[in-house]
Chains A and B, each alone.
Chain A
């Protein structure tokens, strides 16, 4: 390719292709950088700021410090981390254990179990029956209602089964001949071999649970238990500024109320993205590979 001569027309074509993609990059990233710039500007200067700028006007961490010291936000951070961590651990363990059994060709009842799982993918009776199941189990208003939502995800289960099936049969048989029982084979052989796949579905679960807001919104009445996404929704989407600014401050125009609302909202949105950005290099590495190989294998 590098050796083939390029005509001027081809150069122009190439320039158009690259600039189209770079425009796409700008459209994707600019709105986020704009919010970052607003949240880092001196709050007094925010009202006049354009939506196009990506450079802060002055530099101030006031917005971020107000947000991080706010009890609702702090609780939201704690709740989000707690719910995400617990549900991810439960999800990965439950999925791996179930996938191990389902990946063994001779397992009695294997087909029936597959159907049991597939039915849940194509038929979802809706949120009201889900709500009543949680109510019946006494889970409403408890962290568990959110933690257990899609705790074992059927899609991730299938991905892991496919991966376990790729493990050479000879390895498993050799271990069994050595007298290892299924628990030992799973722990000492399958899990170490499946590390990349486990990392991938861990990230799937992590992102899924961190971003989940709807179930938390309908199951958790108690604001003390709200994850960050629900706090964000109340403040930015529902426009309930009292939640962040505080009722006293809002009516007396004191404290956080003096800070520009637009800047507070910008900061709050970014705060919710921080963990995703923190693991984004890992996401790129594992998600991309997982999706590529899945598509290739079909």
Chain B
């Protein structure tokens, strides 16, 4: 018996019609019956479904201009992969791709451990109100826009009256203009990312820590474990799945070096160091008007990004049981 036949014998479907014609009729009747019962849900879902079709699926259709020559007088001409060839032979594109990967890698190495450490420290804080106070403060930047954060850091990193250079001045160091320093700007991206999200991300790990069985700590205590031994042998192993999940998911987002962050912290002096695929698409597309080339670059990133995140999802699901969705 095939699966489908088995499914049709289930009590819900009643008797299995013998002939294929009757079977088809039966299915139609079922569908009609289903529709009578379910149409109100579809009425309620209609605005949402329409939204997804228009604002998420129509763009996929519009992306065909990556394969077309845009003409002022329509229709556009189909040119196949010409724009992709132009793209792949452009040194700027490879530079931009390299920047994206470098920035993502730097964030992965230097950002990811910070929220874990913050969560471990927070978990050691005993006073409930002290802990709440710290949490309330360090979660805040997560809810600020990158325009605001860039404004805050342009001020804080100012070579004349910014807090950082004031501190360096006290230590007898020469002032440095971080925002226009090609050697520093990528670190500015890493640091502002830490400033914005390390606090908030620690919440994910803290949730995992709180879920650890208290008996494990009690047992460790009876065995005479000190604070660090408990962290090493109980807490850390307990949050390894969370760490692994977030690490893999981050790997899946490797091509998203955060447009909003870069576009606000960038300027003409340092652009070559932090120009990423997204800012490149924006610049050549909407500022220079090379729509097809820009769309080709965007599609390249989208397809690669989709592959990476789907792989990340299944790797994560297999290793830790948790996926992207």
Contacts and interface: CB of A to CB of B under 8 A. Distances in A.
A123 B56 CA distance: 9
A213 B259 CA distance: 11
Interface residues of B, number: 100
Contacts of B161: 49-51, 262
Contacts of A283: 143
A257 interface: no
A235 B145 CA distance: 15
B65 interface: yes
Given A31-B163, A121-B324, A151 B121 contact: no
Interface stretch (A65-73, A166-174, A290-298): A290-298
A295 B204 contact: yes
B147 A232 contact: yes
Interface in B287-325: 291, 294-295, 297-299, 301-303, 305-306, 309-310, 321-322, 324-325
Interface in B250-286: 259-260, 263-264, 278, 281-282, 285-286
Interface stretch (A128-136, A192-200, A246-254): A128-136
A273 interface: yes
A108 B321 CA distance: 28
Contacts of A280: 136, 140, 143
Interface stretch (B37-45, B90-98, B103-111): B37-45
A161 B181 CA distance: 47
B162 A265 contact: no
Given A51-B161, A122-B309, A127-B285, A24 B138 contact: yes
B118 A10 contact: no
A272 B144 CA distance: 9
Given A31-B155, A108-B34, A126-B299, A182 B41 contact: yes
B143 A276 contact: yes
A124 interface: yes
A131 B152 contact: no
Interface string A129-161: 111110011000000000011011010011000
A214 B281 contact: no
Contacts of A288: 135, 139, 203
A98 B49 contact: yes
B54 interface: yes
Identify which of B59, B126, B208 gathers the most chain A CB atoms within 10 Å of its CB: B59
B180 interface: no
A291 B160 CA distance: 40
Interface stretch (B2-10, B17-25, B164-172): B164-172
A111 to B, nearest CB: 13
Interface in A6-63: 10, 13-14, 17-18, 20-22, 24-25, 27-32, 34-35, 49-52
Given A107-B41, A122-B306, A31 B203 contact: no
Given A266-B155, A296-B211, A22 B44 contact: no
Contacts of A106: 38
A48 to B, nearest CB: 8
A182 B281 CA distance: 45
Contact of A128 (B165, B210, B298): B298
A291 B154 CA distance: 31
A237 B145 CA distance: 13
A97 B44 contact: yes
B150 interface: yes
A94 interface: yes
A116 B54 CA distance: 12
A259 interface: no
Given A101-B45, A218-B282, A229-B145, 14 more contacts: A18-B125, A24-B199, A28-B138, A51-B158, A52-B166, A100-B41, A101-B42, A126-B297, A128-B285, A182-B40, A214-B260, A229-B147, A236-B151, A288-B139
12 contacts: A24-B134, A25-B138, A28-B140, A97-B48, A98-B44, A122-B309, A126-B63, A136-B62, A152-B48, A280-B140, A291-B203, A292-B206
Interface of A: 1, 4, 10, 13-14, 17-18, 20-22, 24-25, 27-32, 34-35, 49-52, 93-95, 97-98, 100-102, 104, 106-108, 113, 116-133, 136-137, 148-149, 151-152, 154, 157-158, 181-183, 186, 207, 210-214, 218, 229, 232-233, 236-237, 262, 265-266, 268-269, 272-273, 276, 280, 283-284, 287-288, 291-292, 295-296, 298
CB-CB nearest 10 A-B residue pairs:
A126-B298, A98-B48, A51-B163, A211-B145, A129-B59, A295-B207, A101-B41, A129-B62, A120-B56, A182-B40
Interface of B: 31, 34-35, 38, 40-42, 44-45, 47-49, 51-52, 54-60, 62-63, 65, 118, 121-122, 124-126, 130, 133-141, 143-148, 150-156, 158, 161-167, 195, 199, 203-204, 206-208, 210-211, 221, 226-227, 242, 259-260, 263-264, 278, 281-282, 285-286, 291, 294-295, 297-299, 301-303, 305-306, 309-310, 321-322, 324-325
